[in-house]
Amino acid sequence: MTLLERLKVETRQAHDRIEAAIDLERRIASCDAYRDLLARFYGFHKAWESEAAAMAPDRDFFQSRCKTQLLARDLETLGLESDDIIRLPQCQPLMPLPAPEAVLGSMYVVEGSTLGGAIIAREVENRLGLTAETGCAYFRSYGRDVAAMWKSFGAKLLEASSPEADDLIVGAAQETFNVMHDWLCETP
């Protein structure tokens, strides 16, 4: 079993748990609810990107996948001032990221969410009329390149794969799902 196959199997339960708990129907039922969802994502990404950047095995690769700026742009488009965005609560505590491999495991969750983001973006467009230019840039993060970006991330994961690293990668992915679940599903 490849590392990607193992990640998919061993994180399936955590993935399904967050998908069931997020209540997307309610979260995109109005612009206000949607803005609140984006604020929660912002709080996660802002904290996570700050923490993970220091330990990322390839800083340029990592930085090219950061989403905080997209979220800030969406939030501004939806009416928040930049000072309000800076003061949004940030996710604490984060999962431990003791090694570069742990960052890759955590990135598996974050990068995987871009695949689902394309589906969410279509729902947001249908329900709220928002596009990448009018408040849905985060969920459209890679645009037409989402499959290519996922494939390149998968290649990076497989490069890092080893018997020693794989347990750390999988454990970090599972913990990231748990932290993200608790953060996104907590009532602010």
Query: What is the DSSP code string of 120-170?
Result: HHHHHHHHH---TTTT-TTTTTTGGGHHHHHHHHHHHHHHH--HHHHHHHH
**116 contacts 181 by C-beta, under 8 angstroms:** no
Cα 104 from chain centre: 13
* Residue 91 neighbours by CB distance under 10 Å: 22
DSSP letter, residue 143: G
SS (H, E, C) 40-90: HHHHHHHHHHHHHHCCCCCHHHHHCCCCHHHHHHHHHHCCCCHHHHHCCCC
Residue indicated by tokens 């999962």: 95
Q: What is the pLDDT, as a whole number, of residue 22?
A: 87
What's the pTM?
0.95
Q: What is the pLDDT of residues 44-92, one digit of tens each?
A: 999 999 999 999 999 999 999 999 999 999 999 999 999 999 999 999 9
Q: What is the pLDDT, as a whole number, of residue 188?
A: 56
Q: What is the pLDDT, as a whole number, of residue 149?
A: 96
Find out whether the peptide bond into 188 is cis, omega within 30 degrees of 0.
Answer: no
Residues of the chain with pLDDT under 50: none
Cα 93 from chain centre: 16
Say how far apart CA 61 and CA 58 lie, in whole Å.
Answer: 5
Whole-Å CA distances, 71 to 12, 57, 127, 184: 26, 24, 19, 15
